[in-house]
Chain A
Amino acid sequence: MANSKKYWKGLEQLEETAEFQEMSTKEFSEQLPVEEFLGDEDSLGDVGTTRRDFLKYLGFGVAAASLAACETPVTKAIPYLNKPEEITPGVANYYASTFYDGHDYAAILVKTREGRPIFISGNTESSLTKGAINARINSSVLSLYDGNRLKAPMISGEEATWASIDNRLGKELKAAKNIRVLTSSLISPSAKKIINDFANANLATEGEESATASNVVSYDAVSYSGIIEANKESFNKSVVPAYNFDKAKTIVSVGADFMGNWLDTQMYITDYAEARKPENDWMSKHFQFEASMSLTGSNADVRTPVKPSEYGAILTGILKAVGGNVNAVKTKYDHQIADAAKALKASKGASIVVSGSNDKNVQVIVNAINNQLGNYGTTIDLENHSNTKQGSDAAVMSLIKDMNAGKVDALLINGVDPVFTMGDAFKKALAKVKTTVCFATKMNETTEACKYVAATNHQLESWSDAEPVKGHYSLGQPTISPLFDTRQAEDCFLKWSGNDKSFSDVIKDTWETNVYPTSGALMFTNFWNKALHDGVFDAPSGASSEAMSFTGNVSEAAAAIAKVKGGALEIELNQNMSVGAGSGADNPWLQEMPDPMTKITWENYVTMNPAEMKEKGYNTQFGQREAMNVVNVTVGKNTVEFLPVVPQPGQARGTVGLALGYGKRVGKQEEISGRNAYPLVQATKNGVSYYGDVTLTDVDASDYYVACTQVHQTIMGRDSIIRETTLDVYKEGNKDEFNPSHTLIDHKDGESVNVLTKEFNIWGKDQPVENIGHRWGMSIDLNSCTGCSACVTSCNSENNIAVIGKDEVRRARSMHWMRIDRYYASEYQDAGDIAGTLAKTKEAEDVGTTFGYQHMEDPADNPLVVHQPMMCQHCNHAGCETVCPVAATTHSNEGLNMMAYNRCIGTRYCANNCAYKVRRFNWYNYIAYKKFTDFNPSQDDLGRMVLNPDVVVRSRGVMEKCSMCVQRIQEGKLDAKKAGAKVVDGAIQTACSTACPTNAITFGDLNDTSSKVRAGMESDRSYRVIEEKGQEPNIYYQTKVRNLASSKVAKSHGHS
């Protein structure tokens, strides 16, 4: 059959004609017109192609062919075979989720591109965090792509499969009588339920403990147990309260860094900034008593440096001054205590007193003060309390005791790294436990000591829910499938307790039974979908507690406080914005983020008062070649070796500060340094103490350098860079007093006169972009900026900024497009500058002399602080644009100063001519050069997944700088165009403005008369940095207003 068919070309073939026969032997059926082509020699001569041309063509052909034969680099792009429904290449998806790592909580919004999470911002739907995040939260996206992550579970240090773990561990757990779980505070109702079910299953049957006992021990790396115990004593509530800083007219903080690391900073910081707008009817007044200069202290109106051992005494003093019945301990700070107490009394029921001490006695006094002032139920809420810190020092101690006694058969460690934070004491106890399991995303000190290591998902790969404050719920959803063979801890617990459900189903169940009924929604599916979409849900709040009875024993607490005696040199162990309690320690973005106060990167250090350092003969100068003195720090029996000493103006005399969280040995990149200060935390009978007497021992290290991004500390009287005033001057409303226009001196009729800078314009009258089309700009409120640096890392993440490491940062080559300049006032400025009356002070007469300038070089002993976000100012008459020989940097007709990387040849002239020094040069090929391999995430395939595909990665030798997130502007404009509408104010946000928890940075169209940014620009407080140079920046700053009386400034802040 197969061969039976025959096809013919035509009838000729069928008939087999002779003609066909003949033709079939020829190659060409028709005669080729060769003769016609070549026969006529005359016409051949007329052909354009001469012999020479032919040779040219031949040569060209050979060259072209050989060039084409050369291999060009092949970049593989693999298209989707089946495109996921929700993914459109080039279009980002956003998912609401929840961040909680035991230290920070925030409702977040995760931006994904082609299925990869690349950017985290705050979820503004949340009534708790109101969109606030910090640097650690937005940088956590990088740790998802950390090459050091655990890629599979491990048994006794060997990689294993989940099946073998389930099998072996299942047997061991079955055999174990006493199973304990050590976990970070559980704010997830679902996780709490399953972990309790898992651990306490045997409790009821064995009946050896009372019904309230639990085998689940909450542990916070930094303990707040003192507050919980004090609340138990005072109000019979073992909780951490929620604070409402937006209602507080007076805030007194004694050693609590509530804007940086104390409790739920994300829930406080937006409220705090809201209450400090001078335009409002009232502006809160903030008193801070503290040892180290914290971020919070730097924002306080009145800051008093005190020793940690004096915290209790100061609080008893305040309690007495506000009318409490207590024997106050005598201090040196009567004047400051009286000031604070006066303000507190004036705002009864609308004030907050907090303390960072973990001593129950101190916290009882704090409670007594707040109770005396009637703050419970108004600014402090014990009913709708916070859940984020539940750790109890006593419970942890007893667990360790049990472990040592061999009473614990199995210990499961979740979300904490106790060997790192508790050191050998815990490690020894752990060795006595037969079955040890650690849940971790990376190897750490604890996983090293545990038999089973359950490799867990990153948060962005996990389901979660949270109830950070009673009645406020949020949901976390995975934004990417697990990258490795990992399993989320909750799923492990479910599996090991024989439950086949997945954790997401458990969450759904919990919400259906517990949360959904309060919503009043018609159907659970609708409710669930909306909750998942919004990420947050607020249950109607239970009425806050009515007049609670205070049962604290004040006299006993005061007596205990009176006994506290500090030594000659005390230490305060604190946390900084980069690594917190340790969660950010292995994140290169965070390590490279300058500390908001010292501006030092990549390590921790001992902070000390510069005057005291001079007395000791220590170096107090920063700089790339200024070697710092190095010491060993001893507290009690424990010593931490080799820490540099750095000057910290405002550090209380007789104290030193040191940040916890650094110095992990395991699971980190080589470059990441710092020393572990946790061994210096002392366990006392009143709980864990972060204060103590300290001894410093000099170490011989002649060439130890720190990497600091800002080495000059003061503003040098340059009031066109920083403008600040006091509330009373501002309230008088005379703009010339608090924010005078920029002027220059000119001559007129033989007199020298001040003339507005605009008069000196050499560019012609108008800016080309004013009132035509868009004019993108920013308004930055110095009053709201706390210096937290969330914008810095947010910009890193959005704009693919290279990580360059400690050595290069030390060489002043930080690549950050966005930085925060921090200035300390000198003694000289305290008197005059603050009130805008620089010229009137006596010392100001020295301006222009060597003596006068030298006077301003050193910060005051307890300086006022200003944080100033600084990025490309997008000058309409930009210095950089005119000097580029190849026009690589030009101005857009929307007011943006643009940078064409491809055109840049790298003369760096633009950087020299930038008055703000915001341009960043690619000194090396950061994405390939060997010096950066260890820590630049962009050097490995996994780390590159975090790169924002909308922003090009810059090559070596080109200049870069803030683009005002031009990719976002473009996206916003296109969206508006598609929608056929104008760009709505606020629709376009830059990375820094989304990250800013206090909304200090407002981005928008300055030509849009109704925009927020325009309002900022037209505000009385608005000015531009070094405006007198006539560069017409598009970034407007708002004068900082301190809640002080101008005449008192010098007194309340001077050291006496």
Chain B
Amino acid sequence: MHKEAAIREPLILGDDVTYSKITEDVLHAIEHEPTKLWKVLMTIATITAIWGVGCILYLLGTGIGTWGLNNTMGWAWDITNFVWWVGIGHAGTLISAVLLLFRQKWRMAINRPAEAMTIFAVFMAGTFPMIHMGRVWMAYWVFPLPNQFGSLWVNFNSPLLWDVFAISTYISVSLVFWYIGLIPDFATVRDRASRPVQKLMYSLMSFGWTGNAKAWQRFEEVSLVLAGLATPLVFSVHSIVSMDFATSVVPGWHSTIFPPYFVAGAVFSGFAMVQTLMLIARKAMKLEYIITVKHIEYMNIVIIVTGGIVGVAYCTEFFIGWYTGVQYESYVYMSAGAATGPYAWAFWSLIFCNFINPAFLWFKKIRTSLTATFIIALIINIGMWFERFDIIVTCLSRDYLPSTWRMFFPTWVDLGVFIGTLGIFSIFYLMFLKYFPVLALNEVKTILKSSGERYKNMSDEEFKQLHPVFKKDIKSAPAGSKSESDNNEEK
């Protein structure tokens, strides 16, 4: 085992961090009664979720007319929410897959909650294309299933169909990837569980993980393969979502810049959401020494980069709107469509949230401040919602024939469904925090002795003392440490 250079900032802070402590802290929530805070949050989430489900049932029972859509606006909040949720679902896979391929060890502290967020967000995203259909009971027709209608088949020209494939692939691969990572950690919980039901559940979930060397070797290999598979998906999903717009004829949608712009925007919003959720979770679960300011800063840097790409994309759109001289396009960008029209408030919200707001992160002081990060990330989340709202609603509201120009006004059902998905998402996430190992604890342990502060600060002597493996002549291990042998014995 090698130690990382001392000048690199440690990834695990604290002088008292041991394998045992990591296990204890990460599994604390699972092994103890839920806290008051958790109960309160869960109650709120459940109430909003019930409200949302009620709204969805009302929508399905009565018709899409309960939303604020109209003849000109075939889509508005439904697809805005869809794209927003899909975008949020981008950070997890990027962190776990791309950073794994690049061997970024800091990912280990955050990949599990980020991936969980991804999966739940994509679930929420998937809800919208379903319920936005006029006849949701026929939704299975979007799959190329054999049917009794003769040669009737899906339309492979349609970007909506590409969406179906892209998102279902993405969710399957993400889910598998996430679950495989969870197996050793479930095994840890299983091994420590005392209550029979708990033990049974975690035994089932851990698939009989033994933790032997061969298992670990295969684990690593599968992770690598899945990371390789998931990486292109990170780029494909949002590219394809963007094609819902890019392949259309609507001025402002029809744009070749959309795929990269959407992917960058998705990562941007995904990381912002990770920040938002994780800043709360690490505090509540007292995991500040694993998810450190360093991690927060790294993620802020990703936000700066992707935010920059998004900013450039905005400028490009405006430039092209002017440069092409196509009056419909130029109207959307140069005129009432955006900056001065009825949706100017949405446009300027977007510019503030996504263009000006992340620029503060260029200051090291701000991007290492937890409060500032939290606020900025929250604003980015809002801004990214506005971005999708702007693209969909502003462009649709004023397209070719001025006679059809209309405005969109949301109804309480629009609002209810959106809030509801936030509630359902929160339930999932809170359940995850309570019943799942929130961090990849076994992975984190692998870097404890190379990147942990305690070990970095040790002299070689102390290090050897701690580890009889390195110095056979030490008779007895220091008191308080159980780490004479392999990890698994601790559990």
Give me the interface of A with B, judged by CB distance under 8 Å. Answer: 623-625, 710-718, 721, 745, 808, 811-814, 819, 821-823, 847-850, 852-854, 857, 868, 870, 879, 882-887, 903-909, 911-913, 915-917, 919-925, 929, 955-959, 1025-1026, 1029, 1031
Contacts and interface: CB of A to CB of B under 8 A. Distances in A.
A712 B134 contact: no
Contacts of A879: 248-249
Interface string B61-78: 011110011111111000
B62 A924 contact: yes
A850 B157 contact: no
Contact of A957 (B74, B133, B149, B244): B133
B190 interface: no
A924 B402 contact: no
Contact of B327 (A711, A714, A847, A921): A847
Interface centre among B64, B71, B340, B400, by most chain A C-beta atoms within 10 angstroms, is B71
B412 interface: no
Given A624-B406, A715-B402, A885-B158, 20 more contacts: A710-B403, A721-B400, A813-B65, A823-B403, A848-B330, A849-B334, A854-B336, A883-B159, A883-B248, A886-B154, A903-B149, A905-B134, A912-B74, A912-B250, A913-B250, A915-B401, A916-B401, A917-B400, A920-B71, A956-B135
B357 interface: no
A923 B69 contact: yes
What are the 8 A-B residue pairs with the smallest beta carbon separation, nearest first? Answer: A906-B134, A957-B134, A923-B65, A908-B74, A812-B70, A821-B403, A853-B335, A917-B404
A752 to B, nearest CB: 9
B260 to A, nearest CB: 22
The dominant DSSP class at the A interface is loop
Interface centre among B324, B400, B401, by most chain A C-beta atoms within 10 angstroms, is B401
B334 A848 contact: yes
B158 A882 contact: yes
Contact of B402 (A625, A716, A923, A925): A716
A907 B132 contact: yes
28 contacts: A713-B402, A745-B325, A808-B65, A811-B68, A811-B70, A821-B401, A822-B403, A823-B403, A853-B335, A854-B335, A854-B340, A883-B157, A883-B159, A884-B160, A887-B154, A905-B134, A905-B142, A908-B64, A908-B134, A909-B75, A909-B158, A912-B396, A919-B71, A921-B64, A921-B134, A924-B65, A957-B63, A1029-B249
B401 A870 contact: yes
Given A853-B331, A920-B71, A718 B402 contact: yes
B372 to A, nearest CB: 35
B71 A885 contact: no
Contacts of B249: 879, 913, 915, 1029, 1031
B132 A912 contact: no
B155 A906 contact: no
B164 interface: yes
The dominant DSSP class at the B interface is loop
A922 B158 contact: no
A778 to B, nearest CB: 17
Interface in B154-174: 154-155, 157-161, 164
Contacts of A848: 322, 325, 327, 330, 334
A921 B69 CA distance: 10
B134 to A, nearest CB: 2
Contacts of B396: 912
A852 B157 CA distance: 38
Contacts of B64: 906, 908, 921, 923, 957
Given A886-B141, A906-B135, A925-B63, A712 B336 contact: no
Nearest to A925: B63
Contact of A958 (B135, B154, B328): B135
A915 B399 contact: yes
Contacts of B41: none
Contacts of A923: 63-65, 69
Contacts of A959: 134
A624 to B, nearest CB: 6
B152 A956 contact: no
B405 to A, nearest CB: 4
Nearest to B339: A850
Nearest to A916: B401
B134 A885 contact: no
Contacts, number: 198
B247 interface: yes
Given A853-B336, A905-B139, A957-B134, A912 B402 contact: no
B93 to A, nearest CB: 25
A730 to B, nearest CB: 24
B142 A885 contact: yes
Contacts of A808: 65
Contact of B158 (A811, A850, A884): A884
Interface string B399-423: 1111111110100000000000000
B138 interface: yes
Contacts of A906: 64, 133-135
B153 interface: yes
Contacts of B135: 904-906, 955-958
A535 B203 CA distance: 89
B241 to A, nearest CB: 13
A712 B141 contact: no
B331 A915 contact: no
Interface string B304-339: 000000000000000000101101101100111001
A847 B334 CA distance: 10
A171 B308 CA distance: 95
Given A715-B402, A822-B403, A883 B160 contact: yes
Contacts of A823: 402-403
Given A911-B74, A916-B400, A850 B334 contact: yes
Interface centre among B247, B249, B399, by most chain A C-beta atoms within 10 angstroms, is B249
A883 B141 CA distance: 15
Contacts of B136: 905, 957
A905 B138 contact: yes
A800 B100 CA distance: 61
B134 A956 contact: yes
A710 B72 CA distance: 11
B313 to A, nearest CB: 21
Contacts of B65: 808, 813, 923-924
Contacts of B334: 848-850, 853
Contacts of B161: 885
A812 B160 contact: no
B153 A814 contact: no
A908 B250 contact: no
B154 A921 contact: no
Nearest to B336: A853
A999 to B, nearest CB: 23
A912 B71 contact: no
A868 B401 CA distance: 11
Contacts of A922: 63, 134
A650 B255 CA distance: 40
A887 B155 contact: yes
A956 B330 CA distance: 37
Contact of B340 (A710, A850, A885, A904): A850
A1054 to B, nearest CB: 22
B330 to A, nearest CB: 5
Nearest to B60: A957
B158 A904 contact: no
A720 to B, nearest CB: 9
Interface centre among B62, B74, B136, B406, by most chain A C-beta atoms within 10 angstroms, is B74
B40 to A, nearest CB: 37
A275 B178 CA distance: 77
A887 B70 contact: no
A814 B403 CA distance: 13
A909 B160 contact: yes
A625 B407 contact: yes
B248 A907 contact: no
Nearest to B404: A917
